[in-house]
A and B are shown apart, each in its own frame.
Chain A
Amino acid sequence: MYKLQFDENICETCPTSDCLVKCQYIDMDRDTAHDEMMKIIKGEDSFVLNHCISCYACEEYCLRGNHPFYLITERREEKGILPAPRAITNQWINMVEPKGKYKVGEIKDKAISYCFLPELKGLAKGKLFEDVSQSYLFGAEFFCQVMYLHFAKTSIIKERLPNVIERIKQYGIKQLICMHDECYGSFASVAPAYGIDVPFEPIHYLEYLYNRLRELMDTINPLKIKVVYQRPCSSRLSSDKLHYVYDILALIGAELVERKYQGEKALCCGEIPRLLAGYEVANDLQKRNIDDMAESGAEYCVFNCPYCQMALSEKITKRGIKPIHIVDLCKKAIGEK
């Protein structure tokens, strides 16, 4: 069985305990944060296990290479502390159970994964993806499983993720462009953390997009718009790739306006917390986030995750902000939309 590779000495000697001190949903000073993390490491009860809304951010806040969020998730499952009601958890587990209804394109060394999100297949079209869009994987069989971190079900990840990786391996894929943060995080962060071998190179689609835009530089017509960015939870598993968002926006002439909840302090879209913590938490999150967007004066909110886009599109539109996926924004910049 795969086991989380976690070094408790790193936490014990941590001078900041930033993983929990910086948490935007539970208020803690450094000493409390340190004590609680040590309790979690030792398998003792901690209020963190009950109150975490699973925003993934502590994975990013830890700059010492440990995996605080994965550990919290492990401990919750061990102790039977369900973040969500059982029925909701089961629903999400059942909905992506592989049933042999996957689709595979004309696979080459470099392929693209649409995971199990049909929206992604719709995005990966046109000049930006002309070299890779036909070499694709789609279906529950290729679902990256990271979502189960939200539901404290690392057992599902450990059970299913190796099979997903094995299936991808069978196609002889050498480089896999992941059209979703979760997929990239799954192969680049979760799998290594659990000692699961990944025999191909995962490429974050934002990196691919940036490089492709560079190739198409002469077709870019700067958009001259003001935007805000909705950072998704799974982006915390690949914070080293966040700069590509800024680089892409700069390249296409979209000005990322300053606001309170961006970068490290970004707020989650609110819909997973709605399932886990209820409507009051979710509504508060969304209100603060959207108020902040509106105050920034941005015309567009740029999305990276289709789920975030689904969660917030209607609400931000009512506030006069246009929702758009970053891929569609890039297409706009090269005159495709």
Chain B
Amino acid sequence: MNDIFEALLQIVGKDHVSSQEEERYFYARDSGLMPPHEPDYVVAPKTTEEVQRIVKLANDKGIPIVPAGAGLALTGLVVPLKGGIVIDMKRMNKILEVNEKARYAIVEGGTSHGAVKAYLDKHYPTLRHSIPDAPPAVTIGSNIVIHGQGRLAQQYGFNSDMVSGLEVVTPTGDICKIGSCSMSKYWFSKGPSLPDLSGLFIGWLGSTGILTKVGLKLYPKKKIRDIEIFVTDKEDLVPDILYKLTHTEMVEDINAWFQPLPLMFKGNHHVNIYITGDTEEEIEFKKKIVWDSLKGYFDAKDGGFMWVFPAMKTPFLEMPQKSFMSFADLKKGGGFEYSGPIILVEKYPKCVQKLMEIGSKSDLAYSGFARIIGRSHCMMYSFALAFNRADSDMMNRVRKAINELAEFVYEEGGIPWKPSVEEQKMALEHMDPNTIKLMKMIKDNLDPNGIMNPGNWEVN
């Protein structure tokens, strides 16, 4: 037993630290394409103070640290590229407070989205948060540091926009509170009207600190939730359809998608329009406005609302939507990767064309999906590719395709979402040098020994 292991054992106890082969194997990889890299230790703290002690130990010894949620990013963001300590945050899963009237919750960073949803459904049935369409085990903290998006993205933006305060352990081991909670017992604002320091941590993929507590904005949960699906065979019309829909301000989530299989979806673009209301009258009122907003396409026979059978409606209304996950095993062998850039909605037709081109020339199963963020301010466009892990040739074709898609996105003015190390390097090549300089200043000051999730956002 070495000194580091002994020190970690002293911090978290024997049941929550390991350097065994099984744990090192498991924490060496995620579900995507990134080759595995084993950590030296895996540790699962229970409190902020334990996190602080681990970080201080690592900083003193110059040991890399990788903070990990459920490891579901698919782009290798919690793969310990330089070994060291993986800090599994899932034991820090307490829902600490819900302020019903101010509509926020305070949760520990390792709390899962599924747990928050279940807790609110049971105890605060009129409140909800923006749950992403990832498996429910995905953690609040990890989803925020990657700027995740969920079911409320069209109404309220990225999940990181819905943060109302943070508690962070910095790479040098300081515990910092960010936002109103830095000077008040209330967690209602992550910044305004103070300097907004949350940007020092959000979007940095865990390379500037560890989120131990998160203030999370909550939103009204209506009693009824329904879906309409508008279908068109012209991808060029989709951006305008989305513009008209967002103009109505009657809609919850909006997704646009296309896929060649099953056959009923072939050749069409589908716009899922989620509508919520407390009464049937409210739902019908909103549906009428939505229908009217797209009447021009209907009259021109350019698009129409499909009949969503009850059996089809149920999976579409699930949160998270499990059918997304079924695509991951389309080729059997459990391989699934997607490039999900943030890009202008007007680029939808080009994204579709590019995905079809890549799918065809690489002989890969694909599907395209856009989640609208804000009032058509931008979208997350998922170029999703399924593969068989037992087929190395297919995996190589996916790797090549993902890189080509990243280059395409940058050429079209998009920016990467939860980029892999390769995509981060490509992004830095496209970035303004002074922006990189500023990032370097921040990184150098916050993490002078370069211990936090090294390999990610390497601006040095």
Contacts and interface: CB of A to CB of B under 8 A. Distances in A.
Interface of A: 82, 84-88, 90-92, 94-95, 97, 99, 271, 274-275, 278-279, 310, 313-314, 318
23 contacts: A85-B232, A85-B298, A85-B304, A87-B267, A87-B303, A87-B304, A88-B231, A90-B233, A90-B266, A94-B263, A94-B266, A94-B267, A95-B263, A95-B264, A99-B263, A275-B305, A278-B295, A279-B287, A279-B288, A279-B291, A310-B310, A313-B310, A314-B310
Given A274-B307, A310-B310, A86 B263 contact: no
Of B231, B307, B309, B310, most buried by chain A (CB within 10 Å of CB) is B307
A251 B232 CA distance: 48
Contact of B233 (A86, A275, A310, A313): A86
Interface residues of B, number: 27
B301 interface: yes
Contacts of B298: 85, 278
Nearest to A82: B301
B287 A87 contact: no
Interface in B306-324: 306-307, 309-310
Contact of A275 (B269, B297, B304): B304
A85 B302 contact: yes
Given A82-B301, A271-B307, 9 more contacts: A84-B304, A85-B297, A86-B233, A91-B265, A94-B263, A275-B304, A275-B305, A279-B305, A310-B310
B263 A85 contact: no
Of A97, A271, A278, most buried by chain B (CB within 10 Å of CB) is A278
A87 B229 CA distance: 12
Contacts of B231: 85, 87-88, 91
Nearest to A88: B304
A144 B269 CA distance: 27
A95 to B, nearest CB: 3
Q: Is the interface of A mostly helix, strand, loop or mixed?
A: helix
A278 B296 CA distance: 12
Closest 5 CB pairs of A and B: A95-B264, A85-B304, A87-B231, A87-B233, A94-B263
A85 B301 contact: yes
A88 B233 CA distance: 9
Nearest to B233: A87
A87 B264 contact: no
A86 B301 contact: yes
A99 B262 CA distance: 11
B141 to A, nearest CB: 40
Interface string B228-267: 0001110000000000000000000000000000111111
Contacts of B297: 85
Interface in B199-235: 231-233
Contact of A86 (B302, B307, B309, B310): B302
Interface in B265-288: 265-269, 280, 287-288
A86 B231 CA distance: 9
B232 to A, nearest CB: 5
Given A90-B268, A94-B266, A275 B306 contact: yes
A278 B295 CA distance: 9
B307 A275 contact: yes
Contacts of A86: 233, 301-302
Nearest to A119: B311
Nearest to B295: A278
Contacts of B264: 91-92, 94-95
B301 A310 contact: no
A85 B291 contact: no
Nearest to A94: B263
Of A82, A85, A310, most buried by chain B (CB within 10 Å of CB) is A85
Contact of B301 (A84, A91, A99, A274): A84
A221 to B, nearest CB: 31
Contacts of A278: 291, 295, 298
Nearest to A272: B307
B147 to A, nearest CB: 33
A82 B302 CA distance: 11
Contacts of B267: 87, 90, 94
A271 B307 CA distance: 7
Contacts of B309: 310
B155 to A, nearest CB: 24
Interface string B380-417: 00000000000000000000000000000000000000
Contacts of B287: 279
B312 to A, nearest CB: 10
Contacts of B306: 88, 91, 275
Of A82, A88, A94, A99, most buried by chain B (CB within 10 Å of CB) is A88
A91 B301 CA distance: 14
A207 B143 CA distance: 60
A84 B304 CA distance: 8
Contacts of A97: 263
Contacts of A87: 231-233, 267-269, 302-304
Contacts of B233: 86-87, 90
A28 B36 CA distance: 75
Of B231, B287, B304, most buried by chain A (CB within 10 Å of CB) is B304
Contacts of A85: 231-232, 297-298, 301-304
Contacts of A314: 310
B194 to A, nearest CB: 49
Contacts of A310: 309-310
Contacts of B263: 94-95, 97, 99
Of A82, A99, A274, A314, most buried by chain B (CB within 10 Å of CB) is A274
B223 to A, nearest CB: 14
Nearest to B267: A90
A274 B307 CA distance: 8
Nearest to A313: B310
A87 B241 CA distance: 15
Nearest to A311: B307
A252 B214 CA distance: 64
B166 to A, nearest CB: 44
Contacts of B232: 85, 87
Contacts of A313: 310
B250 to A, nearest CB: 14
Nearest to B287: A279
Of B232, B266, B301, most buried by chain A (CB within 10 Å of CB) is B301
A318 B283 CA distance: 15
A177 B96 CA distance: 63
A274 B295 CA distance: 13
A314 to B, nearest CB: 7
Contacts of A94: 263-267
A120 to B, nearest CB: 14
A313 B311 CA distance: 13
Contact of B305 (A95, A99, A274, A318): A274
Nearest to B230: A87
